[in-house]
Amino acid sequence: MTPLEITLSLLVGLLLLAVGFYAWHARKPGLHRKLKMISPEYTRHLVIPDGLDGHIELDYLLLTPHGLVVMDYREIHGTIFAGANLDLWTVLQDHNRFSIQNPFNTMRHRLNAVRGLVKDVPVIGLVVFPDVARFGNTPPENVIHESELLERFSPGIVSNQELLTKAFHQQYKILSATVGS
């Protein structure tokens, strides 16, 4: 083979590899794409009044047919030992052990702040981990993997999905407008 043929072969191989990676990646929706599939609108890093003369930050606020979802996304890989009544959760990752605060300690404050600003709309709190995270025990209620978002909020689970989403949209907009208040 001539140097030109070798170079062309390498370029074709790299092109095929890139196309294959793109096709694989397109089939596996990332967090943003999953959120768009379950929520016509969502906001990140929303700062709202906490009801106590302060402010609190929401990692994500999703508008869904089920109501408003306050979601904390924890980019943690490894094995998580979690409990609803534990102040600290243990994480084993790459031969290291560390603790994180129970996310529901602050989630309760976030949910109360949202419920204080919107009325007559269901408000759900979720803590979401990437699919590569593992739970060493049964996780508490409303602690899920990223892939479970689609299972939990997939279209068709709620009848009259569009009507419900429209009904909750006004409260979502009111809450979104409180940024920096």
Q: All domains of the chain, ordered by start, with CATH?
A: 31-176 (3.40.1350)
Interacting residues of 67 by C-beta distance below 8 A, sequence separation 6+: 121, 122, 123, 124, 168
Interacting residues of 142 by C-beta distance below 8 A, sequence separation 6+: 124, 125, 126, 127
Strands 96-101 and 134-135: unpaired
Hey, which of 4-8, 28-32, 124-128, 155-159 has the most confident mean pLDDT?
Answer: 124-128
Interacting residues of 78 by C-beta distance below 8 A, sequence separation 6+: 91, 92, 93, 94, 133, 134
Chain-centre distance for alpha carbon 95: 26
pLDDT in tens, 68-122: 999 999 999 999 999 999 999 999 998 999 999 999 999 999 999 999 998 888 9
